[in-house]
Amino acid sequence: MSKKPMKKLINNLFTTNVEMDGDNYKVNFNGKGGEYGYILFRKAKKGWTSKPLSQGVYIVSDADIFQVIDTLSLYLSLGDTEISEFRKEFIDISMDILDSHFLDEEGTEEVEPITDSTDSDHNPQEESDSISEG
């Protein structure tokens, strides 16, 4: 499955929000069936990498997306390769969401929401069928 259909499926099935967790930022994924997962970002420290760091760099420090991946796996019959691709896509989406959050806080740019929660009667199996056809 390519990245675009994966992102569309995730955006259709999960709503997101950013919250502070101490000094860290947590991007939450809330499924329409009650599934929950999060990706936690911590401010990077100089000793963590040999590469130079700019101010305000956050890295993924923890994640618990088992429920959301398990739900997708159940509906889409995902194999190990597809599960890894979805995990990476969740991380990519959460980084985009956090970037948008920082831009909104600074007031430098109005950013469109990443998720679309308007389709409350959405059936994941129908999404899976349409993705596999195209």
| Torsion angle defined by CA atoms of residues 74, 78, 80 and 85, in that order, rounded to the nearest 10 degrees | -110
> Model's pTM, two decimal places?
0.69
- For residue 26, what is the enclosing H or E element? strand 24-31
Q: What is the pLDDT along the chain (134 residues), one digit of tens a residue?
A: 667 888 899 989 999 999 998 889 999 999 988 999 999 999 877 665 555 445 567 888 999 999 999 989 988 999 999 999 999 999 999 999 998 888 887 654 443 433 333 444 444 444 444 444 44
Rounded to 5, what percent of the chain is helix, strand, coil?
45, 25, 30
